Amino acid sequence: MTRKVKLILNPVADMSRAWNVARDLRPIVNEYGNADWSGTVYPGHATELARQAGEEGYDLVVALGGDGTVHEVVNGLMQVEAKKRPALGVVPIGSGNDFAFANGIPESANQAMALALHGKTTPIDLGLMVDENGRQEYIDNSLGVGFNAVVTIRSHRLPILRGFLMYLAAVIQTILLNFDPAHMHFESEDEKWEQDTIMVVFANGPREGGGFYVAPSARPDDGIMNYTIVEKVSRLMMFRLLPEFMKGSQESFSEIKAGQFKKLSLKSDKPLYIHIDGEIYTNFGSNLRGLSVEILPDVLDVVRGTSHSD
């Protein structure tokens, strides 16, 4: 029996190229038959559409867009009780497509759509972030604090560039303009420590920003979350580390602390700039200074391809 499918399209993903991609996918969808389209109109709309799809008895929700669209759809699906929760499929049409990369989903939109409609589902883990005000959000790929969150904010202001080049330009801008370490206290189930910190990543997948291997060994189905922390370093050292993050070889440097956890909290002496899955969670002007992250194993079924790590 064919699954009942809801397709959620962000028409402005990848600088509005998503609309054309979706049009080219129509023959594959029409051949499948049992699928309905919805388009997002405003930020957060994909979350509502995904939750409604669960309530309306859909078996599968396919997110067509970038990592932000996937993030919204995941957060909508997690509002549906587990036994009614649809599975997730992804057609990556964005700047980074890091969730798709972590889950072996093809870059080709046609191949990704065919996989989403006909492939097998397997469960993945999600992170759950709770901030000091009690607000919570699910993490499907990564949460960044500090430097890489500012990179995300800056990347949204670079309309001419696309993909990895956009993030790389934002990284260089951030090193030159927003280089502000914070003193942070960390506590996991195994240890407590404090340090001056430029950047923190909590990772469920290995990559963010379309090509930075922030946590090379992170996997979305291993029941654990990875962290990578860059201590206070000079601008010159940050430029030195940049190619290492592009190769995933940064963990050999003493300025990097990397590890794994099931639950970890942090408190900072300065406001926290945060991105979750490439979406800006706190912007300049925020005063949020504390959060915790925990891993939720095997909570969401996803149509996955052959992972790059297999």
Domain CATH code at residue 33: 3.40.50.10330
**Of 31, 274, 248, the residue nearest 132 (C-alpha):** 274
pLDDT at 188: 96
pLDDT at 160: 67
State whether 189 and 237 are in the same domain: yes
Specify the pTM: 0.94
State whether 114 and 163 are in the same domain: no
pLDDT at 310: 43
pLDDT at 174: 84
Domain end position, chosen among 92, 119, 146:
119
State whether 84 and 136 are in the same domain: no
Q: Give 91's contacts (C-beta < 8 A, 6+ positions apart).
A: 21, 25, 62, 63, 64, 109, 112, 113, 116
pLDDT at 172: 86
Nearest 5°: the CA angle 156, 160, 164 is 65
**Of 172, 147, 184, the residue nearest 268 (C-alpha):** 184
- Number of domains into which the chain is organized: 2
State whether 15 and 56 are in the same domain: yes
Structural domain containing residue 59: 5-119
State whether 99 and 174 are in the same domain: no
State whether 196 and 228 are in the same domain: yes
Beta strands, E only, the chain: 5-9, 35-39, 60-65, 87-92, 121-131, 136-139, 142-146, 182-188, 192-203, 225-231, 256-261, 263-268, 274-276, 279-282, 290-303
State whether 278 and 148 are in the same domain: yes
pLDDT at 95: 81
State whether 140 and 288 are in the same domain: yes
Report the first-to-last Cα separation within the chain, whole angstroms. 29
pLDDT of the chain, 310 residues: tens digit per residue: 678 999 999 988 877 788 889 999 999 999 998 899 999 999 999 999 999 999 999 999 999 999 999 999 999 999 999 999 999 999 999 888 999 999 999 999 999 999 999 999 999 999 999 999 999 999 999 999 998 888 888 887 776 667 778 888 888 888 888 767 999 999 999 999 999 999 999 999 999 988 899 999 999 999 999 999 999 999 899 999 999 999 999 999 999 999 999 999 999 999 999 999 999 999 888 999 999 999 999 999 999 997 544 4
Q: Say if 148 falls within a structural domain.
A: yes
pLDDT at 308: 45
State whether 142 and 255 are in the same domain: yes
Q: What is the CATH number of the domain that holds 211?
A: 2.60.200.40
Domain end position, chosen among 91, 119, 147:
119
State whether 70 and 139 are in the same domain: no
pLDDT at 253: 97
Domain end position, chosen among 119, 149, 173:
119
CA 30/CA 80 separation, integer angstroms: 27
